[in-house]
Amino acid sequence: MYRDLREFLTKLEEEGQLVHIHDEILPEPDIRSISRAAGDIPNGPAVMMDNIKGYKGMRVVMNVHGSWANHALMLGMDKNAIPKAQFFELLDKWKKYPGEVRFVDKAPCQEVVVTENINLFEMLPIFRINEYDGGCFFSKASIVSQDPDDPDNPDKENVGTYRLQVQGKDIIGMQALAFHDISKQLAKAEAENKPLPVAIALGVDPVLTFMASTPIFYDQSEYKFAAALNGIPQELTKAMTSNLNIPANAEYVIEGEIIPRQRYAEGPFGEFPGSYSGVRRQVRIKVKTITHRKDPIFENLYIGRPWTEIDYLLALNTCVPLYQQLKEQMPEVQAVNAIYQHGLTAIIATANRFGGYAKSVAFRLASTPHGISYCKNIILVDADVDPFNLTEVMWAISTRVRADKDVIVIPNTPGMPLDPSSDPPGMGNKLIIDATSPTPPDSVLREIRMVDKIKGSEAYEKVIADLQKAIGR
Amino acid sequence: MKCVRCLEDTATKVANAPDGSGAWEMYGCSRCSFTWRSTEEEHVINPEKRDPYFQLDGVNIDDLLVLVPVPPLKK
C-alpha cells in the first residue's frame, strides 16, 4: 500500500482527507488549535501547514491518523468502513506476520546529512503541544533501538513510540516506562555504563507509526508487522552512526545515544488520559547526526483531552492482541473493544459456555500482559452484541445487569501510572460488569424471547442511503 | 537569564527564528529543562501569570521521582 508518509498523504488528498493551510500562523497556539479542530470534526482530515511564522519554507502535518476515515484508508479500506469492520480487517492482516524487510541503498531519509551545528529548535518546526507542557515534544516518533546482548537479532530490534522532549539544541529527553521494551535494553546498557544508540524516525509510513505504538511481544519485529499489514516489504537502511536499521523513507532521522546512568527533569506533558503527567527525572538522548529528505515534512500529533489522534493509534492495535490472546483458549470470544485510553476500559463480546463463564473471560483479560496494568473496567456482553456499538452495549447493560451478582470490584490490583485515578500511581482496582445473559447452571431468572434481528433489512440500508444521497444529503 | 518555570538564573537563548525573520527567539533552562518561545501567550511564559501548579520554584530537581531507576553496575 504505502511506501512512505508521502504516498499516504497523496491517498488522503484524493479521498478529501487532507487539507492545506497556507495562511500565516504562529507555532503557538495556532498549530495546537488547528490540530484540535481537525480531530474534533467527524471524520476530520489531516492538515498540512506550510506558512509558520519564523519557520518559513518548512512544513508540518498533523492529524494524519486522526479519524476513522483516515484509519480505514491506512488499512486499505473504504473510508466509510465502521470500526468493527476495521477490527476484523486488521485481524486478517495481522495473521500475515512476518512480512518481509528489504534493504535499500541511497535511502531518501539520508538525502541531506547534518553532523555539525545541530540545533533542533531551528532545524524542525517544533511547537508546544499543550500550554503547560514542559517544552516542545515529538509525540509521534518511531524510536529504534537494539538489544545490547543480541544486537544482530532483527526481531529484538525495537521500534517504539515514546514521548520526546526537545531540551537543548542537541538534547532530547525521553520517557520510557519500566514496562516498555526500550527500558529492558536500556537497563542492560546502563548496567555496563554504556550509551544505548537510538534513531528517532519522524514521518514514516502510516502503518509503521501504527505498529510503533502497538503492544507486541519483545521478540516480535515491528518492521515485519508493518510489512505484513502494509502488504509490501518494509524498506530499511543502515543508520550513519550505529548498527541500527532505520526506515529508509522517513522524513527525518535523528541519530544519537541515551546518556547512561543519568536522569534529568522531563515533563509535564498532556498525556493520553487527558491529564498532565508530572515532572519526573528521565533519560536524555545526545544527538549526533540528523538526516532528512529534501523538503522534509515534520509529522506530529495533537494529544490531550480525548478523543484525539493518539486514540486512533491506541485503538484497534490494542484490541487485536488482546482478542488473540483471549481467543487462543476461549474460542467463545467474538470481539474485543479496548479502544478507550489504551484499554483502561474494555468491552468483550462472548458466548457463555456455562454459567459464570463471562466472568472467567474478564479474569483472563485482566491477566494478559497488557491487561494486568491497563484493563481496569471490563464489560462483558453477549456474543451477538457489537462491542464497538455503544448503543448496543448500553442496551446490554440496561437489560442484563443485576448489580448484586453481575458487578464485581477486585481491589488493590496493578494499575496504569498515567491513569489519574491510579493511586498510588501503578495501583488500581478491577471492575467487572457482566452484561451477558445468564446460562445454566446459573439461575435463569425469567424466561424471555429476544426479538430477532430483521433478515433482509441490511439490503435496504444501501437503498435508503442512496435515496438520501439523491436528495442532496 | 531567569527561567520562567523554576525561576533560577539557569536559562539561555537557544534559537532564533531560522528563516532570519526575527519573528521570535527560544530560551531553555539547563536546570529544569523548560523551554519557551518569545511569542507564546502570557500565561505560558510570564512567571507572574503562569498557573502556580506548574511552577518549579523551590523544588530540588534531585528530589523529583525517577520512573526508571538506574540499575546496579555489572561487575
The mean pLDDT value of chain A amounts to: 96
Please state the rounded mean pLDDT for residues A172-189: 92
Q: What is the pLDDT of residues A388-400, one digit of tens each?
A: 999 999 999 999 9
> Are the beta carbons of A261 and B30 separated by less than 8 Å?
no
Q: Tell me, what's the pLDDT at A217?
A: 86
**Chain B contact present for A132, CB below 8 A:** yes
Reported as a single tens digit per residue, the pLDDT across A377-423 is 999 999 999 999 999 999 999 999 999 999 999 999 999 988 999 99
**C-beta of residue A119 within 8 angstroms of C-beta of residue A206:** no
The answer, for B66 touching chain A at a CB cutoff of 8 Å, is: yes
Residues in CB range of B56: below 8 A, 6 or more apart: A265, A279, B5, B6, B7, B32, B34
- The band of A462, judged by pLDDT with boundaries at 50, 70 and 90, is confident
Q: Which residue of A has its CA nearest to B42?
A: A131
Phi and psi at residue A246, in whole multiples of 5°?
-120, 155
pTM of the entire structure?
0.93
Is residue B49 less than 8 Å (CB to CB) from chain A?
A: no
**Cα–Cα distances in Å, from A299 out to A122, A149, A203, B1?**
16, 33, 5, 32
**Beta-strand (E) ranges in A212-310?**
234-238, 245-247, 252-258, 264-266, 280-292, 297-299
Give chain A's largest Cα–Cα span. Answer: 77
Q: Which three cell numbers stand for residue A179?
A: 514496562
Alpha-helical regions (H) of A75-173: 83-94, 120-123
pLDDT tens, residue by residue, A288-315: 999 999 999 999 999 999 999 999 999 9
Checking if the pLDDT of A252 tops 90, the result is: yes
Query: Using CA atoms, how far apart are residues A117 and B15, in angstroms rounded to an integer?
Result: 12
Give the nearest chain A residue to B75 (CA atoms). A192
DSSP A53: T
Q: Number of CB pairs < 8 Å for A and B?
A: 125
pLDDT at residue A472 is higher than 80: no
- Report pLDDT for A362: 98
The DSSP H or E segment spanning A70 is helix A68-74
Q: Which of B5, B32, B35, B45 to mutate to test the interface with A (most CBs of A within 10 A)?
A: B35
Q: A83-94 and A222-230 are packed helices; what angle lies between their axes, rounded to 10 degrees?
A: 120
Report CB contact under 8 Å: B68, A28: no
Residue type, A92: D
Alpha carbons within 13 angstroms on the beta-carbon side of residue B71 total 17
Q: Which amino acid, one-letter code, is at A254?
A: I
Quote the minimal CA–CA distance from B24 to chain A in Å: 7
**How high is the pLDDT of residue A418?**
83
> Is A149 an 8 Å CB contact of chain B?
no
For the stretch A320-364, pLDDT in tens is: 999 999 999 999 999 999 999 999 999 999 999 999 999 999 999
Q: Mark whether A7 is an active-site residue.
A: no
CB contact under 8 A, B67 and A122: no
Q: What was the pLDDT predicted at A87?
A: 95
Q: How far is A191 from chain B (nearest CA, A)?
A: 4
B 17-36 near A (Cβ less than 8 A): 17-19, 21, 23-24, 26, 28, 30-36
| A103: contact with B, CB 8 A cutoff | no
Q: What percent of chain A has pLDDT over 90?
A: 91
CB contact under 8 A, B14 and A57: no
Do A165 and B33 make contact, defined as CB atoms within 8 angstroms?
A: yes
Residue A290 near chain B (CB below 8 Å): no
d(CA A299, CA A107): 19
- Please judge whether A28 and B37 are an interchain contact, meaning their C-beta atoms are less than 8 angstroms apart: yes
Contacts of B35 in chain A (CB under 8 A): 121, 134-136, 166-167
Q: How far apart are CA A389 and CA A399, in angstroms?
A: 16
Ordered structural domains, chain A, with CATH: 5-311 (2.30.110.10), 315-435 (3.40.1670.10)
> ipTM of this model?
0.98
Residue A226 has pLDDT above 70, yes or no: yes
Distance from CA of A125 to the nearest CA of B (A): 9
Task: Spell out, as residue ranges, where chain B has pLDDT lower than 70.
Answer: none
Give the minimum alpha-carbon distance from A258 to chain B in angstroms, rounded to a whole number: 13
Q: Which helix (H) or strand (E) holds A37?
A: helix A30-40
Query: To probe the interface with A, which of B10, B68, B74, B75 has the most A CB atoms within 10 Å?
Result: B68
Q: Is A266 on the interface with B (CB under 8 A)?
A: yes
- Asked if A191's CB is within 8 angstroms of B74's CB, the reply is yes
pLDDT interval class at A473 (50, 70, 90): low
- Under 8 Å CB-to-CB from A231, ≥6 apart: which residues? A1, A76, A93, A96, A99
Nearest CA in chain A to B39: A28
DSSP 8-state secondary structure symbol assigned to residue A64: T
Q: How far apart are the first and last CA of chain A?
A: 32
B43 in contact with chain A, both atoms CB, cutoff 8 A = yes
Q: Do B70 and A263 touch (CB under 8 A)?
A: yes
Of A119, A122, A265, the CB nearest to B32: A265
- CB-based contact (8 Å) between A187 and chain B? yes
One-letter amino acid identity for A464?
Answer: I
**What is the average per-residue pLDDT within A6-25?**
98
pLDDT score recorded for residue A465: 87
User: Do B64 and A165 lie within an 8 Å CB cutoff?
Assistant: no
Is the Cβ of B16 closer than 8 Å to some Cβ of chain A?
yes
**Domain assignments of chain B as residue spans, ordered by start:** 11-57
The rounded distance, in Å, linking the Cα atoms of A357 and A346 is 17
Residue A137 pLDDT: 98
Q: Given an 8 Å threshold on Cβ–Cβ distance, is B67 in contact with A53?
A: no
Task: Give the active site residue among A251, A271, A299, A309.
Answer: A271
Identity at A65, one-letter amino acid code = H
What's the pLDDT tens digit per position in A314-329? 999 999 999 999 999 9
Note whether A465 contacts B: Cβ–Cβ < 8 A: no
Which residues in chain B are closer than 8 Å to A124, comparing Cβ atoms? none
Cα distance between residue B44 and residue A255, in whole Å: 31
Query: At A360, which amino acid appears?
Result: S
